């Protein structure tokens, strides 16, 4: 919703911006999953809070792996 409003306010090419912006947002969401997964792994060894950090890390890292396969497959190694 905010993307639509952002594009409208700036009178940009809606289709191109939406496609490009959605692609970038998807890539950053993959990186957010990676960050929170790594954070949870660290917290599992440090935190005194009763929370299943390892399971949370697994869920987040699984999401990252799925998105990585889809979004980053064009990068050559």
- pLDDT, mean of residues 40-62: 98
Per-residue pLDDT reduced to its tens digit, 13-23: 777 777 777 78
**pTM exceeds 0.75 for this model:** no
- What b-and-e string marks burial along 56-69, b requiring 16 or more CB atoms within 10 Å of the CB? bbeebbebbeebbe
Average pLDDT of 22-46?
93
What span, in angstroms and rounded, lies between the C-alpha atoms of 19 and 1?
A: 14
Helix or strand (DSSP H, E) at 15: helix 14-46
């Amino acid at each position: 919703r905010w993307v639509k409003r952002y594009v409208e306010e700036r009178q940009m090419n809606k289709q191109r911006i939406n496609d490009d912006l959605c692609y970038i947002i998807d890539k950053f969401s993959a990186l957010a999953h990676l960050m929170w997964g790594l954070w949870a792994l660290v917290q599992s060894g440090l935190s005194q809070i009763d929370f299943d950090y390892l399971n949370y890390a697994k869920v987040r890292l699984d999401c990252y792996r799925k998105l990585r396969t889809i979004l980053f497959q064009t990068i050559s190694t």
